[in-house]
Structures are given as structure tokens and as C-alpha cells.
Amino acid sequence: MAANETSVHTDIDTSSGMPLGIDFGGSGIKGAAVDLERGDFAGARVKIKTPKKSTPDAVADVVVQLIDRLMEKHPDATGPVGVTVPGIVQHGIVRSAANIDKSWIDVDADEIFTKASGRDVHVMNDADAAGLAEARYGAAREQKKGLAILTTLGTGIGSAFIHDGVLVPNSELGHLEIDGHVAEKRAASSVMEDEDLSWEEWAARLTVYYTRVERLFTPDLFVVGGGVSKDAAEFLHLIDIRTPIVAAQLQNRAGIIGAALVAQGLLGR
């Protein structure tokens, strides 16, 4: 296994307490206690609106609030905390900020959240976290060999590579250039809403996007995640590619569940 790869096949040990997963998004910061035996939330999700100025300190304050509210509901959730960030994360340090405040770049997010909360916190790219969850519990769990690519369609396009059950982090396929445009500026679900595209019009753009990814990486499976995955019946069959393409089973729960997996130390952290 390469030094920068992460196995998704590790035994679960929650003796330190149930972990918390927190997903930092553009509109909301969401969290839940996670039952890793079942691969699902242990209780209701809690959401707080993302601060308008989403600087590291402002987001850290919200994360602390979320942890406090979750602990009120789950006093046994004393394990570590996983937090997803919509950007490249290298060993806990945020290296890009395409859809968040630019002050995140080169910030040690592990350190900031750990100091603010007094808990052991581990930070990961949001799409990578979702990919890990889908590989262990969801739509990619039967794909033991070859390459599964998860894409999250939302404000932007996130991606995760799972090869032979191993995560290869920070693939960032939303930033491929297609027809002179950054891919996520043409094919994210937010673009469909902003430009009032029909499902058919949007699927045509997705076909262009997935065809390019298919030619570059020859995957065995595409998994489509993000909130729009709940509407997969409206558009997935309209995407004309060779590779099998399926909807994420965990939908928008995947990031939180994947964050908890990383926090628990199950994945080579």
C-alpha cells in the first residue's frame, strides 16, 4: 500500500466511545453521532447554518456548538470527531478553497478544531469521506477489485477514488477542464438550478463530464452522491456512458459517516 493511501478494510473498535461525524458545507454544518457497526446515524442529525464569513475560527465555533448539542443527545459519544472540508486536505492541512473562504488555505484544520473543542479531531476532504462510507456500507461495498469513483454533485463536484478497497485521496475531478470550462462550473447540480436546466439538459452535460473521466481512468463503477442522488431516477438513466453508474445508497449521510470512520482511526490515520 502506498504511503498516501488508506485502507477501508479495518476491524471496528469503538472502545474509546462512539465517534461524531461533522460535515462542513457551503450552506450548513451538520453532525451526528455514528454507529459504525450499522454504518448509520445513532440518532437525529443536528444542523447549524454556515457562517456568512466562514473563516476557520468561525467554523470552529460552530463545530464546538455542534459537539455540545450532540453530546446532550448522546452522552456516550466520547470518541474522536471527524470533520469534512470541501477542499484538498493533506495530513490535516487544507490546501485548497474553491468553494469556501480563502483563509482556509494552508491552515492546520486538525489543530484548530482539536484546540477549540478539546476533542481528538481529524479532518478530511468531504468527497473522500463519502467515498469511504459508500465503499464500506453503501453502493461500492461489493466492488472489491478495480476502481470505483464516487462523485458528489452539489455546489461543486467532489470525487473519491477507491482502488481495490483503498482510498487514493484528493482526486479533485471537479476541476478538470472540459470544453474550455472547469467541469463543476458546467455540471454541478447548483449549475442546473442556477441556469434552470431540465433533467435532460443537465444529463447531457453530465454525459460529457463522465465520458472524459471514463477515458482518463477507465473505472469499473461510478457512484453518484450528493443531495441530488435522491433524485437519481430523474437523470441517471439519461447519462450515456459505458461504465456502470449507480446512485449512492447513503445519499447525503455519507460524508458524516465517512468522517466518523476516519475519526475512529479505522482507516490508517
Q: Give the model confidence (pLDDT) of 131-148 as tens digits.
A: 999 999 999 999 989 999
Alpha helices in the chain (DSSP H): 56-73, 109-117, 126-137, 184-187, 189-194, 199-217, 232-235, 254-263
Give the residue among 145, 154, 167 at the shortest CA–CA distance from 219: 145
User: Where are the chain's structural domains?
Assistant: 6-126+253-263, 130-250
Amino acid residing at 133: A
Question: How many Cβ atoms are within 10 Å of 191's Cβ, its own excluded?
Answer: 18
| Cell triple for 227 | 443531495
Which CATH number is correct for 130-250, 3.30.420.340, 3.40.1710.10, 3.30.420.40, 3.40.630.30? Answer: 3.30.420.40
- Confidence at residue 2, expressed as pLDDT on a 0 to 100 scale: 42
pTM of the full predicted structure? 0.89
- Confidence at residue 113, expressed as pLDDT on a 0 to 100 scale: 96
What does residue 124 show for φ and ψ, rounded to 5 degrees? -150, 155
Low-confidence residues of the chain, pLDDT below 50?
1-10, 268-269
Q: How far is CA 188 from CA 88, 127, 156, 267, in A?
A: 18, 14, 5, 29
- Confidence at residue 100, expressed as pLDDT on a 0 to 100 scale: 83
Under CATH, to which class is 6-126+253-263 assigned? alpha beta
Q: Give the model confidence (pLDDT) of 145-185 as tens digits.
A: 999 999 999 989 999 999 998 889 999 999 999 989 999 99
- Confidence at residue 8, expressed as pLDDT on a 0 to 100 scale: 46
- Confidence at residue 97, expressed as pLDDT on a 0 to 100 scale: 84
Domains 6-126+253-263 and 130-250 alike in fold: yes
- Confidence at residue 12, expressed as pLDDT on a 0 to 100 scale: 61
